[in-house]
């Protein structure tokens, strides 16, 4: 994703998911990879199943390749998905929005499965 005539290209948005069976919680950390010609700051927000969890994330990019690990969020007693089950009823919808100036936000929408 390139921001118009901006100096930044977002290569990927991924999620590190760590499930703790004993405590029955999932800790999820967004990871943004980007290439930047000049340092810049972008603002992001994150929704889980249409509920805003992280309303404002400040992302500071430096010149060159960047991999930012953002603030994590926790799901207590998460819905679990069995590996290779083909059942998508327990998937979470994650919407990550990135804002720049007054432009419309870019939305990255993914389905996440928490597999024990």
Show the domain range for 24. 8-112
Contact 92, 48 (CB under 8 A): yes
Q: What is the CATH number of the domain that holds 29?
A: 2.60.40.10
Sign of CA dihedral 66, 44, 59, 42: positive
pLDDT attached to residue 1: 60
pLDDT digits (tens, 9 = 90+) for 11-34: 999 999 999 999 999 999 999 999
Q: Residue 37: inside a domain, yes or no?
A: yes
Work out how many domains the chain is built from and give that number: 1
Say what the pLDDT of residue 6 is. Answer: 62
Q: Is residue 3 part of a domain?
A: no
Structure tokens at 10: 């977002």
Q: How confident is the model at residue 3 (pLDDT cuts 50, 70, 90)?
A: low
User: Per DSSP, what are the bridge partners of residue 9?
Assistant: 2, 35
* In-domain check, residue 2: no
Angle at 25 between CA 22 and CA 27, to 5 degrees: 125
pTM: 0.87
Condensed to tens digits (0 to 9), the pLDDT of residues 49-100 reads 999 999 999 999 999 999 999 999 999 999 988 777 676 778 999 999 998 7
């Amino acid at each position: 994703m390139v921001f118009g005539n901006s100096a930044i290209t977002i290569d990927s948005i991924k999620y590190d998911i760590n499930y703790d069976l004993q405590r029955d919680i999932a800790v999820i950390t967004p990871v943004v990879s980007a290439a930047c010609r000049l340092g810049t700051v972008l603002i992001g927000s994150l929704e889980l199943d249409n509920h805003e969890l992280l309303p404002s994330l400040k992302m500071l990019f430096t010149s060159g390749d960047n991999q930012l690990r953002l603030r994590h969020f926790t799901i207590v007693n998460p819905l679990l998905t069995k590996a290779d089950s083909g059942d998508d009823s327990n998937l979470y919808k994650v919407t990550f929005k990135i804002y720049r100036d007054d432009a419309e936000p870019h939305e990255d929408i993914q389905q996440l499965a928490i597999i024990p």
